[in-house]
Amino acid sequence: MKNRCMMPMVALRGMTLLPNNTAHFDISRKESIEAVKIAMATNQYLMVVTQLDKDNSKGLELDSLQPVGCIVKVRQMVKIPKNVVRVLVEGESRGKLCGIAFRDSFYEADVELWKDTELSKEQEEAYCTSLLEEIRNCYEAGMKINPVSLKKIAKIKQVAVMIDTLAEQLPISYEKRQQILNTEDLLERLTYTMKLLKSEAEVTMIRKELQEQIKGIVEKNQREYVLREQQKLIQEELGEKGTSEIEEYWKSLEKLHAPEEVIEKLSKEIRRLESIPVTSSESTVVRNYVETLLEYPWSKKTEDCRDLKQAEMILNRDHYGMEKVKERVLDFLAVRNMVSEGNSPIICLVGPPGTGKTSIARSIATAVNKEYVRISLGGVRDEAEIRGHRKTYIGAMPGRIATAMMKSGVTNPLMLLDEVDKLSSDYKGDPSSALLEVLDAEQNCKFVDHFFEIPIDLSQVMFLATANDASMIPKPLLDRMEIIEVSSYTQNEKFHIAKEFLVEKQRKKHGLKAKQIQIEDAVLNEIIEAYTRAAGVRGLERQIATLCRKADRVIAGGERKSLRVTSKNMKDFLGVSKYQKEDWDLEPKVGIVTGLAWTSVGGDTLSVEVNIMPGSGKLELTGNLGDVMKESAQIAISCIRSMENKDFLKKQDIHIHVPEGATPKDGPSAGITMATAIYSAVTNQKVRGDIAMTGEVTLRGRVLPIGGLKEKLLAAKNHGMKEVLVPIQNKKDISELSDEILGTMQITYVTNMQEVLERAIVK
């Protein structure tokens, strides 16, 4: 049954809509927008037809449109930028265009509605099955059909709906869709669709066979030739002259002297790089890997200096003192002279800041004629920093060890591992564990960096490490290193270092000539005594730098041509002294004892104060003490109670305090100091103010040995102490100290608490 009606019309360019589908299209012509508005205002029905000439910009006529269009129901219209309206519609049925008319602002179409022939259930099932089988054949032949859409089509039970849905999903031109739309008879429409599917399947198969044939014809050599020719043309267009990057890699590989394993790996990677597109991210990764391996010094090395006298002269020229370090370096050279090949030592210099640990490494490198490279390990917490990153992503890089080797340019540099005690670890791994292989003479000949994936020989590297505190170095790592203590400098050593090295260094650094600044020896001694008391010479160097800056200022300002610093005018440049001579109260006192402490920045005195007051036997500890010192205090109380045989804690409270509560204090060497202070407070006997002591005490009163004796004795001397009590087991350490450190200070060896009290308590 056919009927006719009038409805708003929209003409589309290059697009055909089919019934039983949801679609959207954009319109910008005023008459089309007005037609959609009229449809939305009435019953939402709209006639959509396709123009025969999609570029026609003139008014619409009946012969300029397709004879059949699609009657749709408008669901939504949305304004988008540039005066464009996007319309969402649902296809309802076919309609023959009988005539058109322009109404004020839109086109109206005279439409004859078409209805599909009704089929029986059996016919619908048979036609749907045949059509679905043909669709699957096309899909298997390689035709591009969305699998999701294919499942949706398979569920349709009406052949008319299946044809329209399929036509919308097939990758065919809009003219072929229009042909399906124009076919009124359902069986003819089905026949045309089946033919169309078979035709498209054959075209797809032919295209696929052609691609396979072409792929087989182009052989590997031809492909490489074509690619190389294209690369040359691209370089000519870009104005690049000379050989290609790949050819440069091959030439570098021919000149490279490296193990066979490295040559094979590089050859494989360069061939791989040739087959990867330049725009690929993988190309960047492979190129970075090839360049890194070509840059690494696989066979380059320097000849070690074998002249022991020259090496000794260089070490003495650059550094004052440090006899143990110099002796060890000369021993290393002597061994190298006797043995052609051998494992390089791993030396670790441990001492306070400013004592020259880092600077002597460069002098050692000069003395042994090695390239110098420094790696700062402070704060390193990622294992990949040592072992490198896997080369599976852009930005991957070798670890610090391999990078330092490339920086040095040789396989036998002197590598300084600075601040090895500042290593830390987190969820990314433990870098100290990665260093175990680096510093093990038995393993580092085949150290594997994750980026290189090829063993690196580190056996010829001379490793030198520095640390402030050996106790902070992990034990397995410490076991692989030879520890050399770099202790605090004495006043005489500081004076010679300042006069022979620091003044000259700062003078050159500040652009001064020798005649433009003169610093008297008395000034240097005054600076050491009154302006800095650090274990090293860093603070001393800062004060000398201050004098050089003042000289620059007066000379640049035209006030003087030179500056002479004397004891009389030094305060004008440096200000008031920070420390006063003989400002220590050495009078005997009750409950106050001077102890000695070692820190990572040198030695220091530690005053322990004890007070006894009526109470219920409580013990109070103040002064920011650590767990070890708290235990030492409890042991000291028990020791004194057993010696005096008094139960003084039942009716008295005891308060132990170590001044400067803002500074954390901990360590095992304050035992006899606390015990003496407690004894003095309990018995109300005074303790000598000019005596200092160090040592741990046991419950039975035995005095145990301690460490850092040199730094502690220097601190005692600087604080004007006349006598120091030292555990008898440390007698061997005293024999290694110079007379300058001991001076007139008396060293008394003690074995038990009774001997300590006999020397410390005023009779």
Among all residues, which ones are annotated catalytic? 669, 712
Query: 695 near 671, Cβ under 8 Å?
Result: yes
Query: 378 near 514, Cβ under 8 Å?
Result: no
Q: How far apart are CA 712 and CA 692, in angstroms?
A: 10
652-657 and 619-622 as β-strands: parallel, antiparallel, unpaired?
Answer: parallel
Pick left, alpha or beta for residue 496 (phi over 0 → left; psi -120 to 50 → alpha; otherwise beta): alpha
Question: What proportions of the chain, in percent to the nearest 5, are helix, strand and coil?
Answer: 45, 20, 35
Tokens 């193990």, residue located = 259
- Is the alpha carbon torsion for 687, 688, 692, 696 positive or negative? negative
Give the CA angle between residues 108, 112, 118 to the nearest 5°.
Answer: 145
Distances from the Cα of 165 to the Cαs of 13, 68, 149, 171, in angstroms?
Answer: 21, 18, 9, 12
CB atoms within 10 A of CB 473: 21
- Beta strand segments in 104-211, E: 106-113
Query: 181 near 20, Cβ under 8 Å?
Result: no
- Token pair for residue 232? 């040359």
Q: 422-428: which pairs have CB atoms within 8 A and are 24 or more residues apart?
A: 422/377, 422/378, 422/379, 422/380, 422/472, 423/377, 423/380, 423/381, 423/474, 424/379, 424/380, 424/381, 425/381, 426/381, 426/382, 428/381, 428/382, 428/383, 428/384
Residues 6 or more apart in contact with residue 42 via CB below 8 angstroms? none
- Token pair for residue 593? 């004892």
703-704 and 686-687 as β-strands: parallel, antiparallel, unpaired?
Answer: unpaired
346-350 and 462-467 as β-strands: parallel, antiparallel, unpaired?
Answer: parallel
Across the strands, what pairs with 726? 749
Pick from 722, 718, 726: nearest CA to 745 = 722
68-80 and 84-103 as β-strands: parallel, antiparallel, unpaired?
Answer: antiparallel
- Is the alpha carbon torsion for 505, 510, 513, 514 positive or negative? negative
- Give φ, ψ of 106 to 5 degrees: -150, 165
691-693 and 592-599 as β-strands: parallel, antiparallel, unpaired?
Answer: parallel
What ranges in 382-430 are assigned the alpha helix state H?
Answer: 384-387, 400-408
Pick left, alpha or beta for residue 137 (phi over 0 → left; psi -120 to 50 → alpha; otherwise beta): alpha
Give the CA angle between residues 150, 152, 158 to the nearest 5°.
Answer: 105
Across the strands, what pairs with 77? 87
- Give φ, ψ of 104 to 5 degrees: 45, -70
Give the CA angle between residues 300, 305, 307 to the nearest 5°.
Answer: 165
Helices 174-182, 186-217: inter-axial angle, 10-degree rounding: 160
Distances from the Cα of 627 to the Cαs of 668, 702, 763, in angstroms?
Answer: 10, 21, 34
Pick from 523, 589, 583, 580: nearest CA to 550 = 523
- Token pair for residue 259? 């193990």
